[in-house]
Structure 1
Amino acid sequence: MNSLTHSSTSVVRKASRFLLTSRRFCDTSRINGDEETLKITWETSEMDCGFAEEHEKISVRRTFLESTKLSASQVLDTLKQDCPGFNTKLALDELNVPISGLLVREVLLGILRRLSFDNKTRCAKLAYKFFVWCGGQESFRHTANCYHLLMKIFAECGEYKAMCRLVDEMIKDGYPTTARTFNLLICTCGEAGLAREVVEQFIKSKTFNYRPFKHSYNAILHSLLGVKHYKLIEWVYEQMLEDGFSPDLLSYNVVMFASFRLGKTDKLYRLLDEMVKDGFSPDLHTYNILLHHLATGNKPLAALNLLNHMREVGVEPSVIHFTTLIDGLSRAGKLEACKYFMDEMVKAGCTPDVVCYTVVITGYISGGELEKAEEMFREMTVKGQLPNVFTYNSMIRGFCMAGKFKEARLLLKEMESRGCNPNFVVYSTLVNNLRNAGKLLEAHEVVKDMVEKGHYVHLISKFKKYTRS
């Protein structure tokens, strides 16, 4: 206990270092009947005219949208005919459709919707062919969003090199590459082992710009955090320092979180010290990282001391901070501590939200305490916090673990009746547990019901040994 207290005091010591015009009314008695009639007639005419103009604008917009959708349908039908010997460019020219950003969007979205495992290469080819054809028309210029949509198609088709070439075209044509561009590339190319190359490309790019951030390095760091490329965050941070850029509070927070996720505690606190020396006080995100670290490190007393320190320096802990702490303790199996901090949270005037309840429920399920999870589930609904898909998935998993498959299936129906659409994870949890318990017929019924409702039909193959009847 003494060592724990000493540890918590050390943490708090570290944390404490940063952290008419007046309107005159007309005398209506002076207005005679003719004047009043004239005034009413003029106002009514003006109002009618304004309404007519607005109605006309709405009608024009509706006509334009309907016309564009019809043109997009014609373009898609023409692209379907693409084959050796068929002049697709000439066929598109002969359609004589007006080119607009909306048309490009409708056609590319149409191609994206038609994508399947068997036609990926063809869809990528047709999308680019149409994109080039539009770009060759007079008085039309693609928007950055058009480029991003084509990149999305390339991403879905696994055309990584084509994505990178498209970015080069964007830069060459004078388009700014933003965080959206970067995210599309890093999310896709990262899976293909090309993340480092993509980051290097953006670091060297002089057109990479994302307005909310001080410089492109922060935009890259922020984007990498979203896709959990923690090791790459460290590398980018080192490149940033080598290029002479000084980190700000955002930079420190991102790199500190990456250090936490990588289990580099020493580096986390070294960055904290550097941050304080550079004159930055900790913000809500900084404290959140520290609480996460203390909770997962099974240091509830140190976490409590840090919460008290936050209040002392004028930073009031929010629902997010308590939820972060409870989540970490839950993962460490400290369920009693979770309940303690949930009570503390309410005492502090913070109302637990659906995320907080779900974290606690998931902890109870993982700890094999289904009854307490059910109690918490009832409590949240009574207090007006509607369960989300993650809450339901945890409860369904809990019932399955306890062999209560009837209750699990009833819960699936309940969530659907409440307008909470089950995701594939929910179906997978129920089906796999039913199968493992030898209840093959019931598992088949769940899958059949899913298919009949048109949910995740394209993922049927992920259910092993499932065949449609």
Structure 2
Amino acid sequence: ILKVLLQDGPGFSARKALDEMNLKVTNELVRQVMFKFVVSVDSVNRERYPRLAYKFFVWAGQQDGYRHNTSMYNLVMKVFAECGEVKAMWRLLEEMTEIGLPVSARTFHILICTCGQAGLRRRLVERFIKSSSFNYRPFRSSFNAILHTLLTIKQYSLIEWVHQKMVTEGHTPDVLTYNVVMRAKYLLGKLDQFHRLLDEMGKNGLTPDLHTYNLLLHVLGKGDKPLAALNLLNYMSDVGCVPSVLHFTNLIDGLSRAGNLEACRYFFDEMVKKGCEPDAVCYTVMITGYVAAAEFEEAQKLFDDMLVRGKLPNVYTYNSMIRGLCIVVCRLRNAG
């Protein structure tokens, strides 16, 4: 199909050629064609591809027994995004609204990633908040769907603005809301506001979930507060929220960044004692910490233990080990 579309031009009608192929148009067929456009966009074809993709999209939508849904619109919108066709993306959004198709969190994600200016992003957020056709499931509200998307693309300041707008308009935050906003505050370095939100969450009768504890453990670790972290781990167990390897890993990562390798080792061993098997990511965090502290022998021991336990090293593990070996070689040269 893509080969046919690429021949489109004077003397050749891609639309007529598609008709003659007698294709059975389905969502899967449209998905495959759009995916091929997305993965093959380059500097040479980025001006032509949007037109060809949309030509196929329109042709497919006119075939008997087939109608585009929101996911299909998202796909052609993704082609436009890859080619920098921002105005065309907004026209597609208008078209979806006109024909009564719901827009989704994925639609918002694709559009927000192309909005370079803060003012344009805010306009888009306001539009989606007010949209009656915004299908924000599985999230509880449109605000949560938007906040979650903004977190994935690291728009932390915009998260603050959306949260403030949410509160101003009288909407009640839930645990997910607090988790997202607290993470944004932490990443912006606003720890005082982070702790105020945590207190507010408790006052509103909301119980922290696994994601809340995960964030708290990392914050305590990076703040070099191993005793407070230990108390929190014990509290989690007492309330039936058993710490997982992810919780220990985030704590160890924070402590490693704080330079407290003794505490890292303690919690690593505690994790194993509690029957929580460290995974490749956890080993890598430990190895990276020892390499950063120029303790390559300890890093090597962990790497060997990782292999014995059948954990497959990833690219980050190897990068850390190579960095450690380079440090050792430099030391030997300097000593010689």
**In the alignment, structure 1 residue 146 sits paired with structure 2 residue 72:** yes
- The Cα of 1:94 is off from its aligned counterpart by 4.3
Name the CA distance, whole Å, in 1 between partners of 2:276 and 2:58.
55
Q: Work out whether residues 373 and 395 of structure 1, in 8 Å CA contact, stay in contact via their aligned partners in 2.
A: yes
Q: Find the residue that maps to 1:83 and give its secondary structure.
A: coil
The one of 226, 251, 254 equivalent to 1:328 is 254
Name the CA distance, whole Å, in 2 between partners of 1:83 and 1:368.
63
Name the CA distance, whole Å, in 1 between partners of 2:288 and 2:111.
34
- Give structure 2 stretches of 5+ with no counterpart: 331-336
Which aligned pairs between 1:281-292 and structure 2 lie closer than 5 A? Answer: 281-292=207-218
Q: Work out whether residues 209 and 215 of structure 1, in 8 Å CA contact, stay in contact via their aligned partners in 2.
A: no
Q: What's the C-alpha RMSD, in Å, of the aligned pairs?
A: 2.2
CA gap of 1:192–1:151, structure 2 versus 1, over 3 A, is farther
Q: Work out whether residues 358 and 391 of structure 1, in 8 Å CA contact, stay in contact via their aligned partners in 2.
A: yes
Which aligned pairs between 1:39-188 and structure 2 lie closer than 5 A? Answer: 75-84=1-10, 86-186=12-112, 188=113
Name the CA distance, whole Å, in 2 between partners of 1:302 and 1:350.
20
CA gap of 1:402–1:90, structure 2 versus 1, over 3 A, is same
The one of 189, 196, 213 equivalent to 2:114 is 189
Counterpart of 1:452 in structure 2 is: none
For 1:177, the aligned partner's letter is V
- The Cα of 1:376 is off from its aligned counterpart by 0.8
Q: Provide the TM-score with structure 1 as the length reference.
A: 0.65
**In the alignment, structure 1 residue 386 sits paired with structure 2 residue 312:** yes
CA gap of 1:113–1:263, structure 2 versus 1, over 3 A, is closer
The one of 351, 361, 364 equivalent to 2:277 is 351
More off after superposition, 230-239 vs 385-394: 385-394
For 2:87, the aligned partner's letter is K
Name the CA distance, whole Å, in 1 between partners of 2:244 and 2:294.
29
- The Cα of 1:112 is off from its aligned counterpart by 2.8
Name the CA distance, whole Å, in 1 between partners of 2:47 and 2:29.
22
**In the alignment, structure 1 residue 237 sits paired with structure 2 residue 131:** no
Question: What's the % identity of the aligned pairs?
Answer: 58
- The Cα of 1:271 is off from its aligned counterpart by 1.1
Q: Work out whether residues 189 and 198 of structure 1, in 8 Å CA contact, stay in contact via their aligned partners in 2.
A: no
Structure ID, larger Rg: 1
- The Cα of 1:85 is off from its aligned counterpart by 5.8
- Give structure 1 stretches of 5+ with no counterpart: 1-74, 405-469
Q: Provide the TM-score with structure 2 as the length reference.
A: 0.89
- The Cα of 1:191 is off from its aligned counterpart by 5.5
Name the CA distance, whole Å, in 2 between partners of 1:387 and 1:171.
48
Name the CA distance, whole Å, in 2 between partners of 1:195 and 1:366.
39
Q: Work out whether residues 354 and 387 of structure 1, in 8 Å CA contact, stay in contact via their aligned partners in 2.
A: yes
For 1:374, the aligned partner's letter is Q
Counterpart of 1:253 in structure 2 is: 179
Name the CA distance, whole Å, in 1 between partners of 2:219 and 2:107.
32
Which aligned pairs between 1:195-274 and structure 2 lie closer than 5 A? Answer: 195-274=121-200
Counterpart of 1:365 in structure 2 is: 291
Q: Which one has more relative contact order, counting CA pairs under 8 Å at least 6 apart?
A: 1
Q: Work out whether residues 210 and 216 of structure 1, in 8 Å CA contact, stay in contact via their aligned partners in 2.
A: yes
Name the CA distance, whole Å, in 2 between partners of 1:337 and 1:204.
49
Name the CA distance, whole Å, in 1 between partners of 2:269 and 2:145.
38
CA gap of 1:254–1:385, structure 2 versus 1, over 3 A, is same
Q: Work out whether residues 70 and 104 of structure 2, in 8 Å CA contact, stay in contact via their aligned partners in 1.
A: no
Q: Find the residue that maps to 2:215 and give its secondary structure.
A: helix
CA gap of 1:104–1:316, structure 2 versus 1, over 3 A, is closer
CA gap of 1:110–1:212, structure 2 versus 1, over 3 A, is closer
- The Cα of 1:306 is off from its aligned counterpart by 2.3
Counterpart of 1:460 in structure 2 is: none
Q: Find the residue that maps to 1:317 and give its secondary structure.
A: coil
Query: Across the two proteins, how many residue pairs are aligned to each other?
Result: 329
The one of 219, 224, 227 equivalent to 1:293 is 219
